[in-house]
Structure 1
Amino acid sequence: VKTDQEILALCREEAQKWVNHQREQFKRLGVLADWENPYLTMNKDYEAEEIREFARAYKKGVVYQGVKPVYWNWTLKTALADAEVEYHDIKSPSIYVKFEVNDTETLKKLGSSSGKTYFVIWTTTPWTLPANVGIALHAELEYSVFSYTTAEGVKESLVIADKLKDSFEKETGLSLHKLSTHAGNSLELGEARHPFLDRVSMIVLGDHVTSETGTGCVHTAPGHGVDDFRVGQKYNLPVLNPVSDSGQYTDDFPEMKGMNIFKANPVIIEKLKTSGHLIKFSEFVHSYPHCWRSKTPLIFRTTAQWFLGIDLEKSEIRKNTLKAMDEVQFFPSWGKARFQAMMENRPDWCLSRQRIWGVPIPIFYHIESGEPLADYDIMMKVADLVEKGGIEAFHQTSPDVIIGKPGYKHGRDILDVWFDSGVCHAAVQAKRGYKNATADIYIEGSDQHRGWFNTSMLSSMATVGKPPFKALITHGFVMDSQGRKQSKSLGNVTDPNEISKVSGSEIIRLWAAYGDYSTDIGCGKEELTRVTETYRKIRNTMRFLLGAISDFDVTKESIPFEKMPMIDQWMLHQLNKLMTEVTRAYDVYEFYKVYHLLNNFFTVTVSATYMDILKDRLYTWKPDGLERKSAQTVYHHITSNLIKMMAPILTFLAEETYGHFKGTQESVLLESFPVEHKEWHKPELESLFDKILAVRSDAQKKLEVLRSEKTIGASLEAQLEIKANGETFKALNDFNKSHPKCNLREFFIVSNVTLSEGELLITATKALGEKCVRCWTYSESISTNAATAGVCPKCVEALT
């Protein structure tokens, strides 16, 4: 058996091992953080500040010790809070049990004359029957007395909710005959006899009783249920808890002392059957609470624990928290309603846990009386002690030294791990001097509306009265390509470490931005193939852009916007629009929109349109001519701004590209984010280019027909005759006249374009003239000069 100090040392070593492991994984994924100065809940200063937060909450009167039912893990022997509970389907016994009416007044009210009369309860937890002290009815439900004949031919009467007669008959196979009907509230304070113990079960009223399932008569054991406990308090029922912290019966139920409660279920059922109190036994599959760590089925067990009261008059934490939610932004917006619902319905927060590894609750107990010593000044003294020596110092230091007088012992409870993480607003944000100690965002999965989001909000509202965050981002969960949960048994688990090894971390980062994280998203071969293809296109485009501006000096050769050809101005207008839309998407954390905006801009606007059109100008026009330098100026703007826009997602590629781009900062992440250029805003070009791009699309189809007929190979082997009217003709004509060389011929990537007015008609034919040996354009004016033989007039100009 290890000592407390040995256990603490082993736990700290294990935790540090996984901290180091996860740090390296996060670095591999390109996560930006202060890795040399992380905050860990096991740091001494963090542990100390957590104790101070508990002390502050206690001083405000919102922390109290109470005896009430809590989720209990009987394998780990500790209480759990709501946030530590998850639900799984299990098969439980389903039993209908008779409780004989025990008092003459109730029998008289019921008017039963057919033998014995029984209230019938339905339960899936037979092991709680030894703690039964009551039967709950609903005041406004009607209850009927039904006669029936047992298998042995004995006539008896049963009391159940009138609405549940049909379902009860179906479940039990009994045939019932109604004798009389009574209001639930008329049966209050009646008595029935426990089926196998010498004890009375009182008839009480409770709002938790429904007519949806069962019998409308609810087995009530205040020691093993929240509703039961609440009703028990109202009627002053005894709180029986014959179950130990390890899930075994105690001396309070000597007949089965030492037996595990779940193993006792069949024994109790057999006992009921033997005594004639069992009407029906079957098995029932239902959702049941389990421990999030051990996956063990939980029980409710009434014990003394420390709670954060959220409805106390002096604090009204629940009321104030619900009001404070209006100060918080929610992404997506539906997160607010979900968070509100969780907050409206949650019970007081059970803060105490029965473990060794964790931040101790700074309360001492009198050795003889067991009374707690909860004192703010002593708590703060414990915090100072822990700040110097960690939680180990608390266990090592005698209570006499801390308190200043003898007769006390250490408490053995620690604080809930959700309190550990929940107080980071004080232990990190406030401690490190962040402005107002309010984080910009907290981000977590949708399950954390009842977890970290919830406990962070409560702990902050309890001590400082304001939310610890400005915004909450809720994300879904990772599924496989078919929308199924990932599990080893299905063989559909996607390991990010394996993806990183094979494809690189950028693929994981790009995948994370690819889907709408506010819903569950798939991660499988299909999704990864898609984002890998996107990554390759982006990378190839960036490589082309870098090559295109390799001989360009932006400080000396930049062309002003107003002197650029129209298509270059249009391109910068598109870039300007992209910057606005990307910034807006980043501002509301819609990363999937950033992905699709960038992907479309790279692949369609830049690569398939602008770069395709400008290749001839870039490679064959006069190297120092205005038109080529204009193209390079645009390419420089595109490269510079795209690097910055993609940096939050494609961090590694952005840094690599930025290194070749020769930016002025040490890292692209130190650059200012792109902002809109007012002079690039040209909405009139948007309309004009929409029209000529539509014509370009039709023209490409015509050219494709010539290719399929083997009339041409490349589009430069063709010429176009275009007839158009109205706004379309005006757009084509305006563009064609805007620049002598950056015209429709360049735009359509053919050797010649003839434009005339008329009904829209595009005719594609084989180009006339000879092929230029330099740019491959067909011309009827090929040079015969010895120095420029075989080239077109455009290339002659470039060479001279």
Structure 2
Amino acid sequence: MNKYSDTLNLPKTTFPMRANLASRETSLVDRWEKENIYKKIQQHLTEHPRSSSFVLHDGPPYANGKIHIGHAVNKILKDIVIKSRLMNNQGVCYIPGWDCHGLPIEMQVEKKHGKVGKKLNASEFRERCHDFAEQQTQQQKQGFLRLGVIGNWEKPYKTKEFYIEANEILALKKLYEKGFIHHGLKPVYWSTGCESALAEAEIEYHDKTSFAIDVGYKAKNHEKIFNAFNTPFNTKPGFVGAIIWTTTPWTLPASRAIAINAELEYALVEGKKDGQTFFFFLAKELVSACEKRYEIALSVVATTLGKQLEGILCSHPFYERDIPVVLGEHVTTDSGTGCVHTAPAHGPEDFEVGRAYNLDPSCPVDEKGVFYKDVPLFGGMFVTKAETPIIEKLKQSNSLFACEKLTHSYPHCWRTKTPLIFRATTQWFIRLHGIVEDALKSLDNIDFFPLSGKERMKSMLNNRPDWCISRQRYWGVPIPFITHKQTHEMHPNILTILDTVAQEVREKGINAWFEKHLADLIGEEDAKNYEKCNDILDVWFDSGMTHFTLQREDEGLLFPADLYLEGSDQHRGWFQSALLTGTALNETPPYKSVLTHGFTVDQNGRKMSKSEGNIVEPEKICQTLGADILRLWIASSDYRQEMSVSDEIFKRVSDSYRRIRNTARYFLGNLYDFDAEKDLVPFSQQLSIDRWAIHQTKLLQQEIIAAYESYELHIICKKIQRFCSIEMGSFYLDILKDRLYTCQANSLARRSAQTTLYHLCHAMIRWLTPILFFTSEEIWQAIQKKSDAELLLQTWYEDLSFLPEEEKLNAVFWGEIQEVKKHVDKKLEDLRNQNKIGGSLDAQVTLYASPLLLKEFNLLGEELRFALITSYAKVKPINEAPEDLTEDLTGLKILAEACPYNRCERSWHRREDVGSHSKYPDLDSRSILNIYGKGEKRFFV
């Protein structure tokens, strides 16, 4: 073979088989950052406007800590979308952002500098928070750049920027003007760890073990209870009253009523224990369950509807306090007794019932979760620490009917991971009545990917309470309201004041408000009667309002955005806060479509966490495998579900990557001497199988473009894999080697093949660019010999053509040949396993075909053997087939045999004419013609 190697057109390329991504990618990142690739693209789009634009508004990650695998999933998905839209001939706008306010940053600063009032005053503390957030954003920015994510990194948005904080105050002003802001006492989720109110979106549920207790409330007038049940008064001594059930014993000091359901049937039951007779009422449906829990035999004396019991007075179990029986629709028979202990300070339903019955809503618990010192019996105790003493007190007063430990789902603070309490405090709220209804209607005009996101959003919006937007912390955008000390009415000049404050914050930052003297805003006289609000805004308000705060500064960020893309937990978080604020301010959603992705889990389905020790760091993957492997894993996973991460999974992804890379290397290796300007063969003049390959590529490109537009990335990866390994790899590209290597370099046969490879390569680069950005850039640099055109300024490849259906050798014909070759390959594999042949060119085949197939196969004539990659391929009528030959396909029997002739040392075909020319005893006539003659003619294959 060696003596003929210089007569063959063997592949040549500098594109290496080994990717070595970990080191090669970093040089590309440096170049892209140095050249500011996003700015370069935007300048080009300004000079050459495209027909439409696409805005992806970034949901800001929190500026705290290194990026993790969840960050990588989110940012890479966004990057894939942006790059696919560029390929789709659209202008793009993607401004990366960060959420920079809030408790986690405060906690980090406290660790280093101490709490406010010790080493730092509040203004200094905010400055340290600002600096810490900046450090974190710079660190995370480098992590995202390493992943190949493009965007306006030169000017990202950060919610700590003065202009955003100022615009947020103007947004608050607009909401106030529209009548959506109100101030009032209400129970809110309270984090004792944060010492602040929380919103619904800041809550997560974890299992908690609590005391579940049944507590007796004695009736002040026994006879009234019996009269309510229309039954004779029983004068026997003992307990008469109601029994409540609760899993929060610490709320009993705030107990003000017993709530029952007006339409439920209640039973007056009699029981005996320790020689004492008990009469109490509870929901009839729950009598049996209570009987087991109390270990008392209960008999039903009489029944009545709950509304007949309204107004009965009982006594608090350990305080001198009247406890009335009241009616509440929230009372059910799901658990407990049907009699609900009601503490207006510690629950939203309790508060509403309390308001209807004028019950005292005062809260006995301070911001740290400690009972105020003047609370009898339990003053100075932390709420959960007080539960054991409370239970002991109930035992002493013979009020405890049952006590057990219960593990149940319970709300926790998403930041400190501590259990929450409900605590009635005076807060600022957005009144959501009307806004929620409009938001729900707007969902029908939003595209959800996946569609299930729409129903999830609906369920989150339904029955949503008013949004508590105030927080009692230091690091955040202020709520610059000024209210009267006695009446709590807003200052009459508040709108002008808000404009003034916003302007000063734009110039100096949020300390401008906190350091501002009240008299400088409203005058000395008014300052005696008014006070400043020192609360800050909920961080969900910060991020949810970015559609407004950025739009005012950046014209490229059009409203509404085309897409919001975040994790599935954001249906109750950013998607919702943005929807509600967008609806309130603009009467329309801030986005046209919403895409959600699942969370990352390990191979056992466990959520990634430091405590589990199963964290996979993007930085480590980039250093070992390369960012493109991480990008391919994300794209090839069905991101709508949980996404599994493991070494084995990354190994499989690496194998898939190698198939794609090797296909690109095949293209490049056979294009080393191809100049498209002079060597490109028109489609109409190309060989038939080449035209078919281009036809198939165009079909596939249409499918890939459609999949990109519907965000079905895993489908794209499957199709590209199939293209590389099956459609092209094991059929067309395999067949092509003979023609590429053995035909004369400048022959039509070879240039036709190279033309196809050129088209395929250009098409595939564009398919891969959104996903395998680093590798595509590497391929692009290898194929672009003269032009320095930026890859991301290209669009989907347009120089592809369809094969006309009316041609005899159309796409259907080549599909049939491809199917025949699969069955021939199986026959050849059998011969190989029997050691009768080595490669496929050591064989010859005879196709015994039906008249129709016979006619089709004969269209290729002698070139059928090239399509089947055998030394000979004969076609005969099926009725001439040996009797023992079974049918492989309908109307086709295949006979494969070892070819008896000598092998040509150049083409490796075994041909009868090898050695027929005395001067070239080891060549067949075709090779002699290709080396020394005019070259062979090919027409089809």
Equivalent residue runs for 1:43-54 within 5 Å: 43-54=161-172
| Cα distance in 2 between the residues matched to 1:87 and 1:683 | 64
- Structure 1 residues 162-171 or 258-267, which shifts more? 162-171
CA distance in 1 between counterparts of 2:700 and 2:522 reads 65
Aligned to 1:194: 316
Corresponding residue for 2:829? 704
For 1:55 and 1:727, the matched residues in 2 are separated by 80
Other-structure match for 1:28: 146
Matched, 1:60 2:174: no
C-alpha spacing 1:574/1:146, structure 2 compared with 1 (3 Å): same
State whether structure 2 residue 890 is matched by structure 1 residue 765: no
Residues 465 and 434 (structure 1), Cα distance of their counterparts in 2 relative to 1, 3 Å cut: farther
Task: Give me the whole-angstrom Cα distance separating, in 2, the residues matched to 1:224 and 1:252.
Answer: 18
CA contact (8 A) 1:8 1:357 kept: yes
Aligned equivalent of 1:18, options 136, 159, 163: 136
Q: Deviations over 1:156-179 (max 9, x none)?
A: 112111111121122222211111
Letter in 2 for 1:691: E
Aligned residues: 790
For the residue of structure 2 that corresponds to 1:97, the secondary structure is strand
The reply on whether 1:690 has 2:815 as its aligned counterpart is yes
Cα drift, residue 562 of structure 1 = 2.0
What is aligned with 1:560?
682
Find out whether 1:614 has 2:736 as its counterpart. Answer: yes
1:470-504 deviations in whole A, cap 9, x for unaligned?
Answer: 11001111011122222344432222221111111
Q: Does the CA-based 8 Å contact 1:623-1:798 persist in structure 2?
A: no
Find the aligned partners of 1:436 and 1:539 in 2 and give their Cα distance: 38
Q: Post-superposition shift, 1:446?
A: 1.1
Shift of 1:544: 1.6
Assess if the C-alpha contact under 8 Å between 1:429 and 1:438 holds in 2: no
What secondary structure does 1:381 align onto?
helix
Counterpart in the other structure of 2:553: 431
- The within-5 A match list for 1:445-456 is 445-456=567-578
Shift of residue 686 of structure 1? Answer: 3.7
Q: Distance in 1 between matches of 2:445 and 2:773?
A: 32
2:221 is the counterpart of 1:99: no
679-688 vs 608-617, greater mean Cα deviation = 679-688
Within the candidate set 502, 508, 515, 1:383 is matched to: 502
Residue identity opposite 1:431 in structure 2: E
The answer as to whether partners of 2:514 and 2:534 remain within 8 angstroms in 1 is no
Deviation at 1:35, TM superposition (A): 0.7
CA distance in 2, matches of 1:158, 1:733: 98
- The correspondence for 1:81, drawn from 188, 199, 204, is 199
Q: CA deviation at 1:773?
A: 1.5
Shift of 1:683: 9.8
In the alignment, is the contact (CA less than 8 A) between 2:212 and 2:405 conserved in 1?
yes
After TM superposition, the structure 1 = structure 2 runs for residues 279-318 of structure 1, keeping only pairs within 5 Å, are 279-311=401-433, 316-318=434-436
Residue 122 of structure 1: aligned partner:
245
User: 3-state DSSP class of the match of 1:439?
Assistant: coil
Q: Which amino acid aligns with 1:575?
A: T
> Alignment partner for residue 914 of structure 2, among 767, 782, 797?
782
Secondary structure, aligned partner of 2:592: strand
Helix, strand or coil at the partner of 1:537:
helix
Cα distance change, pair 518–637 in 1 and its aligned pair in 2 (3 A): same
- Give the AA of the match of 1:775: S
- In structure 2, the CA distance between the partners of 1:475 and 1:141, relative to structure 1 (3 Å rule), is same
Q: Would you say 1:135 and 2:253 are equivalent positions?
A: no
The yes-or-no answer on 1:755 pairing with 2:878 is: no
Does the CA-based 8 Å contact 1:65-1:307 persist in structure 2?
A: yes
> For structure 1, which segment, 617-626 or 655-664, has the greater mean C-alpha deviation from structure 2 after superposition?
655-664
Answering whether residue 188 of structure 2 is matched by residue 70 of structure 1, we say: yes
**Between 424-433 and 94-103, the greater mean CA deviation after superposition:** 424-433
Decide whether aligned partners of structure 1 residues 668 and 206 sit closer, same or farther in structure 2, where only a CA change above 3 A counts.
same
Match of 2:333 in 1: 211
465, 475, 478: which one aligns with 1:357: 475
What SS class does the counterpart of residue 778 from structure 1 fall into? Answer: coil
Deviations 1:501-558 (A, max 9, x none): 1111111111111111111110112211111111111112111211111111112111
| Correspondence 1:117-516 to 2 at 5 A | 117-150=240-273, 152-251=274-373, 253-311=375-433, 316-366=434-484, 372-373=490-491, 375-405=494-524, 406-407=527-528, 408-434=530-556, 436-516=558-638
Mapped to 1, the partners of 2:614 and 2:514 lie a distance apart of: 46
* Structure 1 counterpart of 2:869, one-letter code: I
Tell me, yes or no, if the aligned pair for 2:550 and 2:557 is still in contact at 8 Å. no
Q: Which residue of the partner structure matches residue 98 of structure 2?
A: none
Which of these residues, 576, 580, 595, is aligned with residue 717 of structure 2? 595
Q: State the alpha-carbon separation in 1 of the partners of residues 902 and 820 from structure 2.
A: 27
TM-score of the pair, normalised by structure 2 = 0.82
Identity of aligned residues (%): 39
Greater displacement, 106-115 / 244-253: 106-115
Q: 1:157–1:681: structure 2 CA closer, same or farther, 3 Å change rule?
A: farther
Q: Which amino acid aligns with 1:254?
A: P
Quick check: 2:697–2:800 contact (8 Å CA) kept in 1?
no
Report if the CA contact (8 A) 2:217-2:241 is conserved: yes
Shift in CA distance, 675/61, structure 1 to aligned 2, threshold 3 Å: farther
Question: What is aligned with 2:227?
Answer: 108
Give distance in 2, aligned partners of 1:176 and 1:560.
Answer: 95
- Closer, same or farther: CA 294–137 of 1 in aligned 2, 3 Å: same
- From 536, 539, 546, give the equivalent of 2:668: 546
* Counterpart residue number, 2:39: none
**Comparing 36-45 and 757-766, the one that deviates more:** 757-766
Q: Which amino acid aligns with 2:909?
A: T
Using the TM superposition, give the Cα deviation of residue 282 of structure 1 relative to its aligned residue in structure 2, in angstroms.
0.6
Q: Deviations over 1:709-747 (max 9, x none)?
A: 22211111111011122654444333x24xx6xx22111
SS of 1:255's equivalent in the other structure is coil
TM-aligned CA deviation for residue 364 of structure 1: 2.5
Deviation at 1:276, TM superposition (A): 0.2
**1: CA distance, partners of 2:731 / 2:292:** 71
Closer, same or farther: CA 681–368 of 1 in aligned 2, 3 Å:
farther
Alpha-carbon contact 1:689-1:731 (below 8 Å) kept: no
Give the RMSD, CA atoms, in angstroms: 1.9
Inter-partner Cα distance in structure 2 for 1:683 and 1:607: 27
Structure 1's unaligned 5+ residue stretches are none
Post-superposition offset of 1:785: 4.5
Which structure has more relative contact order (CA 8 Å, sep 6+)? It is 2
CA separation of 1:675/1:105 partners in 2, compared to 1, >3 Å: closer, same or farther? farther
Tell me the distance in 1 between the aligned counterparts of 2:205 and 2:413.
Answer: 8
- The question of 1:745 aligning with 2:841 is answered no
Deviant stretches of 4+, over 6 Å: 367-370
Correspondence for 2:796: 673
- Write the letter of the residue equivalent to 2:712: E
TM-score by length of 1: 0.96
Question: Given the superposition, is the C-alpha separation of residues 628 and 69 from structure 1 closer, same or farther in structure 2, using an over 3 Å criterion?
Answer: same
Q: Shift in Å at residue 763 of structure 1?
A: 0.9
State the one-letter code of the partner of 1:10: R
Give 5+ residue unaligned stretches, structure 2. Answer: 1-117, 879-890, 934-941
Deviations 1:447-477 (A, max 9, x none): 1101000000111111111111111001111
Partner of 2:838: 713
- Secondary structure class of the residue paired with 1:196: coil
Distance 1:435 1:79, change over 3 A: closer
Q: 1: distance between equivalents of 2:497 and 2:248?
A: 43
Q: Following the alignment from structure 2 to structure 1, what is the Cα–Cα distance between the partners of residues 246 and 684? A: 82
